[in-house]
Amino acid sequence: MIDIFADVEPMVFKSGINVPYSWWAGETAERFFLALRDDKKIMGTGCSICEKVFVPPRKVCPLCFQENMAWVEVSSEGVLESFTIVERQLASLPRKAPVIFGLIRLDGADTSILHYIEDADHTDIKIGMRVAAKFSDERSGSMHDIDCFRPVR
């Protein structure tokens, strides 16, 4: 067998394919984002059967599989259910490390949302602490309309 790689580098073919995506939010998510953008309100949907309140809102209760869901406003404050402090800067990380990812169960909701925790002393941060949303000054209708959650002092 001739060693083809004795004198040349193994060839590599790089992708030139670009697949752009655009996802429809749908009526249910759109209603959430409009309330967030225009009124700084965080809305969930509550199931008439299991009485759970879902944030993000669901059109159909994933547990009861039924569509009788009522809109309810939940608090912009809640409890930190879990978190991690990301120390290593990765290319896919939108903010500068260290970054704190938190799972926040807002008062009035039965599920948690994922967001950043900022303005928190890394040694003090713990599960069960109270946090509050800091809304962005410029809001365009996305999860970034909440800039982050901060400890309630």
Partner 1 sequence: MPKKRVAIVGTGQTYHKSHRPDVNGQELINEAVKRALQDADLTIKDIDAVVIGNMDHFEGINYVDCWSVDGSGGIMKPVIKLTTGGTTGSTLAIGGYQLVASGFFEKVLIIGWEKNSESDTTGAITTAFDPVWDRLVFAGAISGLAAEAQAYMAKYGATEKDAARVSVRDRKHACNNPHAQLRREITIEDVLASPMLADPIHLLDVCPRTDGACAVIMANEDCAGKITAVPDWIWATANRHKYTYLGDVNWGELDSLAGASREIYAKAGIREPKKEIDVIELYQPYSFAGIIWIEDLGIAERGKGAEYIWSGATDMGGELPINPSGGVIACNPIGATGLIRCAEAALQVMGKAEARQVPDVNFAISTGFGGCMWSDMLLHGKRKPDF
**Partner interacting with residue 6 (select from Zn ion, partner 1, none; CB below 5-8 Å by kind):** none
52-91 mask for partner 1 (x: CB under 8 A)? Answer: ------xxx-xx-x--------------------------
Nearer to partner 1, 57 or 78 (CB): 57
Tell which one of 2, 4, 26, 87 touches partner 1 (CB under 8 A). 26
Q: How far apart are CA 115 and CA 150, in angstroms?
A: 10
Q: Which residue of 63, 86, 93, 114 would you call a contact of Zn ion, by CB under 5 A?
A: 63
Closest CB to Zn ion among residues 105, 115: 105
For residue 4, the partner it binds in Zn ion, partner 1, none, with Cβ less than 5 to 8 A by kind, is none
Biggest alpha carbon distance in the chain? 73
**Amino acid in position 21:** Y
Q: From the list 2, 8, 9, 23, which residue makes contact with partner 1 (rule: CB under 8 A)?
A: 23
| 3-state SS class at 78 | strand
Burial track 117-149 (b if 16+ CB lie within 10 A, e otherwise): bbebeeeebeeeeebbbbebeebebeeebbbbb
Q: Given the DSSP bridges, would you call strands 53-54 and 42-47 parallel, antiparallel or unpaired? A: antiparallel
**Beta partners for 84?**
101
Helix (H, G, I), strand (E, B) or coil at 108: coil
Q: How far is the CB of 25 from partner 1 (least distance, A)?
A: 7
**Residue 5 near which of Zn ion, partner 1, none (CB within 5-8 Å, type-dependent):** none
Q: Which of 25, 50, 86, 93 binds Zn ion (CB under 5 A)?
A: 50
